[in-house]
Amino acid sequence: MKAILRWWYAIALPRRSQPTTPQERERKRYAHLTAGFLLLLSFLFIPISPIMFFFSPASHSSPQIALGMLILLLLSWLCGRLGYQRLSASCIIAYSFLSITGPLVTNPGKRATRRRFQ
């Protein structure tokens, strides 16, 4: 497991010298946490993305949501690679909001559900 994470950190994080001060060590921990979340979300998104892009006839907005999620993941990786860890974490949070609220906003429900709440 450590080898996989070491490989991912080499890809997702900028190359920096070993931290010496407590503030630098905390920044490194935060960067590792952000990169770990990015890896987890990528592993969850990759198997679902073909379904969202191509095989979702009931939802016409699903491909647009999937494209937005993909852009946010790539932007999060790029920001993390450039050293902007807070922006990378913000993209991960935006990814979570989009994945949850995107289908709720674009597919409001069936008529029976609408009648109950009107």
pLDDT at 12: 85
Asked if residue 72 lies in contact with residue 111, where contact means CB atoms within 8 angstroms, the answer is no
Within a domain: 10: no
pLDDT at 68: 92
Within a domain: 92: yes
For residue 62, give both structure tokens.
């699903």
Domain count, the chain: 1
Within a domain: 56: no
Within a domain: 65: yes
Within a domain: 84: yes
Q: What is the largest CA-CA distance in the chain?
A: 62
Within a domain: 40: no
Q: For residues 72 and 68, what is the distance between their CA atoms, to the nearest angstrom? A: 6
Specify the pTM.
0.80
In tens digits, what is the pLDDT along the chain, a chain of 118 residues? 778 888 888 888 888 778 788 888 888 898 889 999 999 999 999 888 888 888 876 677 888 888 999 999 999 999 999 989 999 999 999 999 998 888 878 776 655 455 555 5
Within a domain: 46: no
Within a domain: 4: no
pLDDT at 112: 46
By residue range, what is the domain housing residue 90? Answer: 27-35+61-108
Q: For residues 44 and 35, what is the distance between their CA atoms, to the nearest angstrom? A: 14
